[in-house]
Amino acid sequence: MTYRQWLDTLYARLPRFEAVCLIEQFAVLPGDSLADSGLTDAALKGDGLLRGGRRMSHDGSKLPHGQLPRFYDEEAYVPGLAEAFERRVAGEPLQYILGEWDFLSLTLAVGPGVLIPRQDTETLCTAVSEMWHGSAKALDLCAGTGCVALGLCSLMGDVTVTAVEKDEAAFEYLLENCARYPQYRVTSVRADVLEDAASFEPVDIITCNPPYIPRGELPLLQREVQWEPRAALDGGEDGLSFYRALARDWMCKAKLLVVEVGDGQAAAVAEIFGKTGGKLRIVRDAAGMERVVVADFRR
């Protein structure tokens, strides 16, 4: 199948953004076919679709932003693109297929076994950076890819973070992403948030993006989310199990506790946290949804 045929197929079956991401990651467009394909750099930039302007060279290395690849044998690249296309139409998340995803200014490794970083969670990081000034020691619970821990470091000038993750597969991604950004002071610790609180010393800040989907709603989630680890989604019968554990076992260890919540959960989480005496605040995300609950114990 020629590139033009693949372009027609991709655009017919996938949203344009996803089609462009797959083409960018798994295929090099021959230089003399760019105009015919409609995928000139100028067109892609105009649509805001290039993920960092990256294109793959013949040996798999990244080309500088805006630089077009030389002509290569297109047949050598179609199989990789075909496999990626089949995985996507089968419902596998685009982020897993690409193997990495952007979060704030970071590009993080991601794949099966770990929760995909989402823009909603950037709200948690920015909220902390706006509320805390000066040096800080932090704990990030249910760390997953490390997006929150590394995100905090990218936004705050002087912060040291201990990232806590229980799941073995997710922990491997956490280690890989911390290795990508050695300039940030993040220590990865394998531990269970529901069982191991006594092992940790008090800190300035605790952040957490816990599992918060009510168990009965898990089968109703969109098919892409079904690929993500159940342990990172299942928040118990009412979706609030982890928040109760945070209030019971962890809140006493922080001056500032900042958590992400699901749609419609902010009031319930604030009620749970309100029993501990902290000053409460709810922060909305870019879409206007109540996304973050803060318990502030600073005096």
144 pLDDT exceeds 50?
yes
* β partners of residue 155: none
- Token pair recorded at residue 279: 């000053």
40 pLDDT exceeds 70?
no
Q: How is residue 158 annotated by DSSP?
A: S
Coil vs helix vs strand at 159 = strand
Higher pLDDT, 269 or 8: 269
Q: How far apart are the first and last CA of the chain?
A: 67
- Burial class of residue 263 (count of CB atoms within 10 Å of its CB; 0-12, 13-18, 19+): exposed
> Do the beta carbons of residue 98 and residue 17 sit within 8 Å?
no
Q: How is residue 238 annotated by DSSP?
A: S
Mean pLDDT, the chain, integer = 83
* Max mean pLDDT range (14-23, 272-281, 286-295): 286-295
Q: What is the predicted pLDDT for the residue at 1?
A: 59
* β partners of residue 140: 163, 207
Q: What is the predicted pLDDT for the residue at 146?
A: 98
Q: What is the predicted pLDDT for the residue at 4?
A: 65
Q: What is the predicted pLDDT for the residue at 224?
A: 92
Q: What is the predicted pLDDT for the residue at 24?
A: 72
CATH architecture entry for 101-296: 3-Layer(aba) Sandwich (3.40)
Q: Using 50, 70 and 90 to split pLDDT, how confident is the model at 20?
A: confident
| % pLDDT > 90, the chain | 67
Give the span between the Cα atoms of 95 and 116, in whole angstroms. Answer: 7
* Max mean pLDDT range (3-12, 26-35, 120-129): 120-129
Give the span between the Cα atoms of 154 and 168, in whole angstroms. Answer: 25
Q: Using 50, 70 and 90 to split pLDDT, how confident is the model at 236?
A: very high
The residue count for the chain: 299
Give the span between the Cα atoms of 98 and 24, in whole angstroms. Answer: 10
Q: Once rounded to an integer, what is the mean pLDDT over residues 267-288? A: 93
Q: What is the predicted pLDDT for the residue at 37?
A: 40
99 pLDDT exceeds 70?
yes
Q: Identify the helix (H) or strand (E) that includes residue 151.
A: helix 147-155
Give the span between the Cα atoms of 162 and 143, in whole angstroms. Answer: 9
Q: Where are the domains of the chain?
A: 3-90, 101-296
Query: How far is CA 157 from each of CA 162, 187, 268, rounded to the nearest angstrom?
Result: 16, 17, 33
